[in-house]
Amino acid sequence: MRRGWKMALSGGLRCCRRVLSWVPVLVIVLVVLWSYYAYVFELCLVTVLSPAEKVVYLILYHAIFVFFTWTYWKSIFTLPQQPNQKFHLSYTDKERYENEERPEVQKQMLVDMAKKLPVYTRTGSGAVRFCDRCHLIKPDRCHHCSVCAMCVLKMDHHCPWVNNCIGFSNYKFFLQFLAYSVLYCLYIATTVFSYFIKYWRGELPSVRSKFHVLFLLFVACMFFVSLVILFGYHCWLVSRNKTTLEAFCTPVFTNGPEKNGFNLGFIKNIQQVFGDKKKFWLIPIGSSPGDGHSFPMRSRNESQDPLLANEEPWEDNEDDNRGKQGSSMLL
């Protein structure tokens, strides 16, 4: 009886958490709907007097709005991709692993299983990366999301504003959403500014539209500042071929930690997210190369092309020297 109550309570809490997780998305949707009303009706149809200006403003606004909402939709509803079945332990391997009480034997079992898989990253201690909740050997760049309760391929982070885990399947859409969000806010701010000044100087009558126009500029500028910082950070990550998790925790390979392990050079790094065909870069259509289970690594490219071994990935060597000087001063 008590166990049944606990299960019911646990299920109720999970249900409440799922409902509450949509609150940030609902806030964004309401703000966007209000901005649409304020810009289209209160600014363009009521405040703007020139018919030609109205037409130009509305056409450009809706062009940006379509891509903005399209990429937001794709970021929310593109499901995170999980490792395929070959990375999961078989029933017999799972039983052997769980029945084995010696940690060193368990580690060796994972090493033997990993030899059959294309995995080259390790834990900080050098062990095979294993998820004891999903019972699988993690592919390179794969991590377990505690919110989604599953392992996600090339996981970047869990974003509450899209209520989704950002990873291999939707990272391109998330970047596009940030880009079009910045453009959306910038366009609104620049077109509203002149009418903001007119209302401020009293050149336009103080009607209901005044509140919407003034507040629209404030909201657009506020979101623009925060979004451009976030977008700039993710552009930097793409240029280095890093995820947010890898930026905070250096990936460890079979030969040790290497913060530039996946850095292939600026152009190839961009292609790892957006694909080889530039015509798809601005459109929210899946074009990222590969299947998310394995990725080209700098060490492999260097073995194929020795010239890459001498290439300095942006300012990393300079950063390393600064880090070494700082650590020597601390010591």
Cβ-based neighbours of 279, under 8 Å, separated by 6 or more: none
7 — pLDDT class (breaks 50, 70, 90): low
Q: Check whether 119 has a pLDDT greater than 50.
A: yes
209 — pLDDT class (breaks 50, 70, 90): confident
For the CA atoms of 311, 316, 318, 324, the dihedral, rounded to the nearest 10 degrees, stands at -120
302 — pLDDT class (breaks 50, 70, 90): low
Q: Check whether 196 has a pLDDT greater than 80.
A: yes
Q: Check whether 305 has a pLDDT greater than 60.
A: no
d(CA 177, CA 173): 6
Q: Check whether 154 has a pLDDT greater than 50.
A: yes
Q: Check whether 308 has a pLDDT greater than 50.
A: no
d(CA 141, CA 169): 13
Chain centroid to CA 215: how far? 29
**What pLDDT sits at residue 224?**
98
Q: Check whether 70 has a pLDDT greater than 80.
A: yes
Residues 20-47 have a mean pLDDT of: 96
d(CA 80, CA 201): 51
Q: Check whether 322 has a pLDDT greater than 70.
A: no
Q: Check whether 328 has a pLDDT greater than 90.
A: no
Residue keyed to tokens 């071994």: 309
Question: How, if at all, do strands 143-145 and 150-152 pair?
Answer: antiparallel
Residues 284-304 have a mean pLDDT of: 83
Mean pLDDT, the chain, as a whole number?
88
Are 155 and 243 in contact by the 8 Å Cβ rule? The answer is: yes
DSSP 306: G
Q: Check whether 312 has a pLDDT greater than 60.
A: no
Closest listed residue to residue 118, CA positions, set 303, 298, 308, 291: 291
Are 135 and 144 in contact by the 8 Å Cβ rule? The answer is: no
Give the active site residues: 159
Q: Check whether 6 has a pLDDT greater than 90.
A: no
26, 70, 72, 224, 287 from 66: Cα distances, Å = 18, 6, 10, 18, 20
DSSP 46: I
Q: Does residue 50 or residue 305 have the better pLDDT?
A: 50
**What pLDDT sits at residue 4?**
65
Are 166 and 75 in contact by the 8 Å Cβ rule? The answer is: yes
d(CA 128, CA 126): 7
Give the pLDDT confidence of 235-271 residue by residue, as tens digits: 999 999 999 999 999 999 989 999 999 999 999 999 9
Query: What pTM was computed for the model?
Result: 0.86
DSSP for 217-277, written as a single string: HHHHHHHHHHHHHHHHHHHHHHHHT--HHHHHS--EETTEE-TTTT---HHHHHHHHH-S-
Q: Check whether 317 has a pLDDT greater than 80.
A: no
Q: Does residue 222 or residue 329 have the better pLDDT?
A: 222
DSSP for 93-107, written as a single string: HHHHHHH---HHHHH
How many helices (H) and strands (E) the chain has is answered by 11, 9
Three-class secondary structure assignment of 151-180: EECCCCEEECCCCEEECCCCHHHHHHHHHH
199 — pLDDT class (breaks 50, 70, 90): confident
